[in-house]
C-alpha cells in the first residue's frame, strides 16, 4: 500500500497516516512511499514535544517507559494535535527504542501497554482520592469523585477563564451557556402577547424550590405554549439559569407560597420589572453563608442572630433579634446555609424582639451580636470550621 505524506502535516498526523497503512501480513509491513529514515525523523520530532514529560513520569511514577510513552501519546496530545493511534505509537516506540530495526510494534502489543498504564493511573487516582482525613462519624458525605481532564481540555478551560474565575466557576458558566435559555422577561412577554396571560408566579412552598422553578401562569383555556418557551430548556433570571416547569391555569389561586412576577388582575397588579427584581432577590437569598447572614442582618438593623438548640423540621431554627418589631422578614427566602464540607437546611425563621428573645435564651445559642449595650459583642469566627462548631450538635446532624 502506498501513502503520500504532505510536508505541511503535523508529525502526529503523518504517523497516524503511516500507521493506518501498515500491513503486518507482508514481508515488509511499511507502506510504499515512506522510508525508515523518514519515520525516524518524524518520531524524533514527536520526541522533542513529549519525551521529557515521558521521562518525568517514568522517574516519578510506577509506569514503565513503554507504558508512559503509550499513555502520554494516546491521552495527552497538545491542543490542536491529533492523539496518536495505537499503530502510530507502535511506530514511535519502534523508531525511538529500536533504531528502526525489526518491525514496528503491533496494535495488540501497544494496547497491552496502554491497558497496564490505565490500570496504574486508576489505582493512583483511587489512592489520591483517599489521602484526606476520614469524616467524623456523624458526617454525611457523598463519595467524592475527582475530575481529571486531558491536557488539551485543561488548556482550553484556561483560555476561557475570566479574571479571578476558578475552574469550577468557569465550568458552571460554560455549562449554563450551552443550554437553550429564555430570559424571564421574554418568558412573561411571550405569554402576555401570545396567550393573554394576566398572572405569572413562581411557587416557593417546597424545599429547594430554586433547583427547579415551578412557574404558574394564568391564561385562557386552550392554546399552545409560546415558541420561545417550548424551545427553551432553562429559564434565565439575572445572570443565572434554572430548570423550570410551567403549569397553565385558567383561574390560578394566588397563594402565600406564590412569588408573583407579573399580575394584571382584579386582585393584584405587579409590573414585570418589579416582579423580576423580587424573584432575583429571593433567589439570591435562598442560600447564604453565616457571614452573609450577619451582613444582611446588620444592613436591616438587627441586634443579634441566634439558633435553636433543637432542629425545626429537618433543619435549623433561626432567630434574628431586633430592638423592636421588624417591618418585614429579613431572611424570608433563606433555605440553606453552606458550611465547610456540608450544607445546613433552614427549617424556620422567627424574627423576635430583644424582650421575646430573652424568654427563649435557654433553648437557643447566640451566633452573633452587634454589641450595642443590649448584648455583649460576639463576632463570627473567621475560620469556617470554627463557625461550624457554633451550630448545636442536634442541628448539625440534620446537615448533608
pLDDT band at 2 (very low <50, low <70, confident <90, very high): confident
Domains of the chain with bracketed CATH:
11-125 (no CATH), 181-284 (no CATH), 290-396 (3.30.460)
Which tens digits make up the pLDDT trace of 218-246?
888 888 888 888 888 888 888 788 889 88
What does 90-117 look like in DSSP terms, one character per residue? HHHHHHHHHTT-S-PPPHHHHHHHHHHH
pLDDT in the model for residue 163: 84
Which tens digits make up the pLDDT trace of 123-171?
888 888 777 666 555 554 455 556 777 777 777 888 888 888 888 888 8
pLDDT in the model for residue 80: 65
Picking from 162, 182, 180, 178, the residue whose alpha carbon sits closest to that of residue 170 is 162
What mean pLDDT do residues 336-350 have?
81
- List own/partner pairs for 161-166 with CB under 8 A and 24 or more apart: none
Which tens digits make up the pLDDT trace of 266-302?
788 889 899 888 888 888 888 888 888 888 888 888 8
Picking from 252, 152, 237, 122, the residue whose alpha carbon sits closest to that of residue 197 is 252
The continuous run of DSSP H or E covering 212 comes out as strand 212-218
In the predicted model, is pLDDT for residue 99 greater than 60? no
The continuous run of DSSP H or E covering 355 comes out as helix 354-360
Longest dimension (CA), the chain: 98
Q: What are phi and psi of 64, to 5 degrees?
A: -75, 175
DSSP, collapsed to helix, strand or coil, labels residue 316 as strand
Amino acid at each position: 500500500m502506498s501513502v503520500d505524506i504532505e510536508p505541511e502535516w503535523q508529525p502526529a498526523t503523518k504517523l497516524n497516516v503511516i500507521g493506518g497503512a501498515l500491513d503486518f501480513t507482508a514481508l515488509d509491513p511499511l507502506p510504499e512511499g515512506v522510508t525508515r529514515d523518514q519515520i525516524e525523523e518524524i518520531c524524533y520530532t514527536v520526541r522533542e514535544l513529549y519525551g521529557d514529560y515521558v521521562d518525568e513520569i517514568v522517574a516519578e511514577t510506577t509506569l514503565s517507559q513503554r507504558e508512559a510513552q503509550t499513555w502520554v501519546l494516546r491521552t495527552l496530545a497538545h491542543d490542536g494535535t491529533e492523539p496518536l493511534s495505537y499503530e502510530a505509537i507502535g511506530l514511535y516506540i519502534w523508531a525511538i527504542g529500536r533504531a528502526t530495526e525489526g518491525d514496528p510494534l503491533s496494535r495488540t502489543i501497544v494496547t497491552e501497554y496502554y491497558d497496564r498504564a490505565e490500570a496504574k493511573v486508576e489505582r493512583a487516582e483511587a489512592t489520591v482520592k483517599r489521602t484526606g482525613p476520614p469524616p467524623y462519624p456523624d458526617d454525611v458525605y457523598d463519595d467524592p469523585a475527582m475530575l481529571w481532564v486531558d491536557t488539551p481540555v485543561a488548556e482550553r478551560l484556561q483560555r476561557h477563564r475570566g479574571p479571578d474565575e476558578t475552574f469550577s466557576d468557569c465550568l458552571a458558566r460554560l455549562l449554563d451557556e450551552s443550554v437553550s435559555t429564555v430570559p424571564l422577561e421574554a418568558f412573561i412577554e411571550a405569554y402576555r402577547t401570545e396567550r393573554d396571560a394576566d398572572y405569572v408566579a413562581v411557587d416557593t412552598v417546597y424545599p429547594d424550590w430554586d433547583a427547579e422553578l415551578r412557574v404558574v401562569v394564568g391564561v385562557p383555556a386552550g392554546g399552545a405554549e409560546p415558541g420561545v418557551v417550548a424551545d427553551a430548556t432553562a429559564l434565565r433570571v439575572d445572570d443565572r439559569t434554572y430548570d423550570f416547569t410551567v403549569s397553565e391555569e385558567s383561574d390560578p389561586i394566588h397563594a402565600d407560597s406564590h412569588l408573583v412576577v407579573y399580575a394584571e388582575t382584579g386582585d393584584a397588579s405587579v409590573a414585570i420589572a418589579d416582579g423580576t427584581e423580587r424573584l432575583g432577590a429571593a433567589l439570591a437569598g435562598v442560600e447564604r453563608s453565616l457571614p452573609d447572614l450577619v451582613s444582611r442582618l446588620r444592613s436591616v438593623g438587627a441586634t443579634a442572630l441566634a439558633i435553636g438548640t433543637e432542629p425545626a423540621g429537618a433543619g435549623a431554627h433561626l432567630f434574628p433579634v431586633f430592638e423592636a418589631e421588624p417591618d418585614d422578614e429579613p431572611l424570608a427566602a433563606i433555605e440553606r446555609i453552606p458550611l465547610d464540607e456540608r450544607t445546613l437546611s433552614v427549617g424556620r425563621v422567627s424574627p423576635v424582639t430583644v424582650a421575646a428573645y430573652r424568654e427563649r435564651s435557654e433553648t437557643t445559642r447566640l451566633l452573633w451580636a452587634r454589641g450595642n449595650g443590649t448584648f455583649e459583642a460576639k463576632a463570627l469566627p473567621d475560620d469556617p470550621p470554627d463557625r461550624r462548631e457554633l451550630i448545636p450538635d442536634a442541628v448539625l446532624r440534620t446537615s448533608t
